[in-house]
Amino acid sequence: MHPGELPEPSGPGGFAVRLEDFAGPFEVLLSLIAKHELDITRIALATVTDEFLRYVRALHDVGSARALDEASEFLVVAATLLDLKAARLLPRGEVEDEDDVALLEARDLLFARLLQYKAFKEVAGLLDERMRAESARLPRAVPLEPEAAAVLPELDWRTTPEQLAGIARAVLGARPGTPAEVGVDHLHGAAVTVRDEAETLVGLLEGGVPRSFRALVAGAGSTLAVVVRFLALLEMFRDAVIELSQDAPLGELTVRWTGADIGWTAERLAADGAADGTADAGGAAAGAAAGAVRGEAGTPAGVPA
Amino acid sequence: MSAGTGPDLDGLPGGVQAAVEAILMVADEPVSEYRIAAALVVPVATVQRVLDRLRAEYDGRAADLGYAGTLEPRGFELRSTGAGWRIYSRSEFAPVVSAFVAEGQTARLSQAALETLAVVAYRQPVSRGRISAIRGVNVDGVVRTLVQRGLIRELERDGESGALRYGTTTLFLEKMGIGSLEELPDIAPHLPGIDQLDHYED
Amino acid sequence: MSAGTGPDLDGLPGGVQAAVEAILMVADEPVSEYRIAAALVVPVATVQRVLDRLRAEYDGRAADLGYAGTLEPRGFELRSTGAGWRIYSRSEFAPVVSAFVAEGQTARLSQAALETLAVVAYRQPVSRGRISAIRGVNVDGVVRTLVQRGLIRELERDGESGALRYGTTTLFLEKMGIGSLEELPDIAPHLPGIDQLDHYED
């Protein structure tokens, strides 16, 4: 890099960089990396970024409207490059290691992502050109002349004022962009609540016979129910109505009921507020393990099926 | 012919006459010679002359145009009403136009049309842009259908934005079996405050 | 020329050619030669010939029509896409015409909207999540804008994830001046091997 030299805006291509291994337009740099002709690990991204910032400042100083556009575009590309570089710099070791395979794939994905993003950007340019050329012509789309409109088949009208009002409520009430509540209709799967599952667990354990976790979730029926049953057990453990024991790491987890004499019931979870299975089963499990997920018991939980 | 500030019409294929034709062909409402003259930056008298000439040409009146031979009439004609000029299909072809229009039309309103009608009924006067914003889709075609069906009509233009606004017709009241808009069932308690709706300006 | 059951076109001023023009005048979407032929009860080949002739005439291509002299182009043109035929104002007159088309005139799309539109066009049906993954930014607002503009629409939900998926509309095809998605410019030269892209499942 040559400090003190301002990178010049180079025509419509814009930002150019000067690095040890490379000097030229940023676009060319990207395509070289994409074609594996330049090792991403040899590029000092910080240098590129510094140069870019000076370039944008220069654009800004001359009052160019392009400054903001270019800045946001650069951010997207730079983030991808950074990902790419991080993946490349991580030690790879033997390929037999599954983690390494995953890493290699991640690197390939990043390459593909970079290339794909560039491809769509280019095609977006084509669409823009095409639509602009097309918008110079306006199609004839005019209301039918009265004579022609007269021959439309007689309107088959079946809507009552109440029905129309219902439609109006639905349309005017559900305004796009500012939903009154987060839509959950895309989440299907039966409602499973911590309280209901706790009740089931109490039923299974009440006799005083210790049972394995495996046995307790055997009849759960879905992954979601298993997760929520696990959350219920955490709640019951917190309230000290069960004891947990495990002889060896990853060994059988045994659960024993101790709450008979304190009169604990699952209703308590409703009153207290208890862990709630959330939309994402994985997230809920992780959250509960960290003791972080708190919510209202009785709230239906759902996961994408 | 064109004034210095207007578009260079003489340099375009077909000149002023083609420019007037271009406007008439796609304008979705009648246009006056004054508006055309203003857009082209040519005298109104010139526009008037071009319009008369186009009408004679479309009608195949060769003699009026000073042509020696004959001229076939076109399938369209230029009509002038109080509101302005508009191109229509030639009236002699009404039977074939009817055959074309009637085919491919259904007797019932689509769900999209009903939803748009409901918005117009409860939010009139309302522009297409605002209906679009409320429904979250482009409504140009549906609005045209409802106008053709005589259920809604163009009202005044919005003072600020200049956008055409729409309202329901007496035919709509008839179809609904009510005497006035006041008899529409109340939906107010279920709606967000009117101030919130005002976000939807065009 | 017309079959016994159809309207007597030869008796009408301008004959079949004017009848085709009359239909084009009332169409508010591209129409196929088959629909025109059905309405007029004439062979499709005849309609095809008439349409080609009208297009040449509007474009002022005197030689193609066998005329000795010159012919002024009209202010409008007849265009054909995969979806059918439609009358448009001639592109040279865009600056004067746009003032007369009340609404529906869309402002230019932002770069973000264009890129999102490109992803939807080439990857449909596609969820917002996947568009985000490709573009590297949240696209909710941009998707909403495109839906409002009528360029994309919600399709079915994805069977597995339940995510809403999007595709382009016929309005998008119209704005591009193409009849079907097959006519989109080829993206292949801009893309890495398609097998690599297949990793991008949501």
Cβ pairs bridging A and B (under 8 Å): 113
Q: Which residues contact C98 (CB under 8 A, 6 or more apart)?
A: A138, C105
Question: Chains near B, with 3+ CB pairs < 8 A?
Answer: A, C
**CA–CA gap between residue B142 and residue B151 (Å, rounded):** 11
Closest CA to C200 of A287, A192, A106: A106
Burial of C201 per CB tally in 10 Å (0-12, 13-18, 19+): exposed
Query: Which of A147, A164, A172 faces B94 most closely, judged by CB atoms?
Result: A147
pLDDT band of B52, cuts 50, 70, 90: very high
Chain C nearest C-alpha distance from A186 (Å):
5
Residue in chain B closest to C89 (alpha carbons) equals B22
Q: Count CA atoms closer than 13 A to A118's CA, side-chain side.
A: 24
Give the Cα separation of A44 and A85 in Å (integer): 10
Residue A238 amino acid letter: R
Dist CA A150 CA A135 (whole Å):
32
CA distance C20 to C55: 12
Virtual torsion, Cα A97, A103, A109, A114, nearest 10 deg: -150
C185: which DSSP letter?
P
Per-residue tokens: C154:
């919600």
- DSSP states of chain A: --TTPPPPPBGGGB-EEE-SS-EEEHHHHHHHHHTTSS-GGGS-HHHHHHHHHHHHHHHHHTT-THHHHHHHHHHHHHHHHHHHHHHHHS----TTSHHHHHHHHHHHHHHHHHHHHHHHHHHHHHHHHHHHHHHTS-B---PPPHHHHTTSPPP-----HHHHHHHHHHHHHS-TT--SS---TT--S--B-HHHHHHHHHHHHTTS--EEHHHHHHT--SHHHHHHHHHHHHHHHHTTSEEEEESSTTS-EEEEE--GGGT--THHHHHH------S-HHHHHHHHHTT-----TT--B----
Range of weakest confidence among A26-30, B140-144, B193-197, C149-153: B193-197
**Nearest beta carbon to residue A168 from set B108, B122, B178:** B122
Average confidence (pLDDT) over C143-155: 88
B70-118, pLDDT tens digit by residue?
889 999 999 998 889 999 999 889 888 888 888 766 778 888 899 999 9
Which of B9, B74, B138 is nearest residue C14 as measured by Cβ atoms? B74
- Comparing C3 with B95, the larger pLDDT belongs to B95
Which residue bears the tokens 């939803």?
B115
Chain B hits for A158, Cβ within 8 Å: 108
- Mean local confidence (pLDDT), C153-163: 80
Residue C195 is predicted with a pLDDT of 38
Decide if B108 contacts B134 (C-beta within 8 A): no
Chain B: closest CA distance from residue C187 (Å): 27
pLDDT at B45: 96
pLDDT at residue number C105: 53
**CA atoms of A43 and A85, how far apart (whole Å):** 9
Residues for chain A: how many in total? 305
Q: Which residues pair with C152 in a beta bridge?
A: C168
Instruction: Identify the band that residue B199 occupies on the pLDDT scale cut at 50, 70 and 90.
Output: very low
Q: Is B61 on the interface with A (CB under 8 A)?
A: no
Residue contacts between B and C (CB atoms, under 8 Å)? 167
Q: What is the mean pLDDT of chain B?
A: 84
Q: Kindly determine whether residue C111 and residue A132, on different chains, have CB atoms separated by under 8 Å.
A: no
Distance (Å, rounded) from C-alpha B58 to C-alpha B91?
Answer: 12
What digits encode the pLDDT tens for the residues C26-47? 988 889 999 999 999 999 999 9
In chain B, the N- to C-terminal Cα span, in Å, equals 37
Q: Please give the average per-residue pLDDT across C112-138, as a whole number.
A: 88
All residue ranges of chain A with pLDDT < 70 are 1-14, 27, 31, 33-46, 68, 72-115, 174-191, 270-305
pLDDT of C53 reads 95
Complex ipTM > 0.85: no
Share of chain C above pLDDT 70, in %: 87
Spell out the SS3 assignment of A201-261: HHHHHCCCCCEEHHHHHHCCCCHHHHHHHHHHHHHHHHCCCEEEEECCCCCCEEEEECCHH
Write out pLDDT tens, residues A23-77: 777 767 776 766 666 666 666 666 777 777 777 777 777 777 777 677 766 666 6
Across chain C, mean pLDDT equals 83
Which residue, among A154, A171, A178, A181, would best test binding to B if mutated, counting the most B CBs under 10 Å from its CB? A171
Q: Measured between beta carbons, which residues in chain B are less than 8 angstroms from residue A183?
A: none
Which of B22, B104, B136 has its CB closest to that of C97?
Answer: B22
What confidence score (pLDDT) does residue C90 get?
93
Residue C168: in which H helix or E strand, if any? Answer: strand C164-168
Give the distance from residue B143's alpha carbon to the nearest chain A alpha carbon, in angstroms.
Answer: 10
Q: Which of C31, C59, C72, C76 to mutate to test the interface with B (most CBs of B within 10 A)?
A: C76
Q: Which residues contact A99 (CB under 8 A, 6 or more apart)?
A: none
Is the pTM of the predicted complex or chain greater than 0.95?
Answer: no
Q: Is B67 on the interface with C (CB under 8 A)?
A: no
Asked if the C-beta of A138 comes within 8 angstroms of chain C's C-beta atoms, the answer is yes
C-alpha triplet B44, B49, B52: angle, nearest 5°: 125
**Are B73 and C14 in contact (CB < 8 Å)?**
yes
Chain A contact for C39 (CB, 8 A cutoff): no
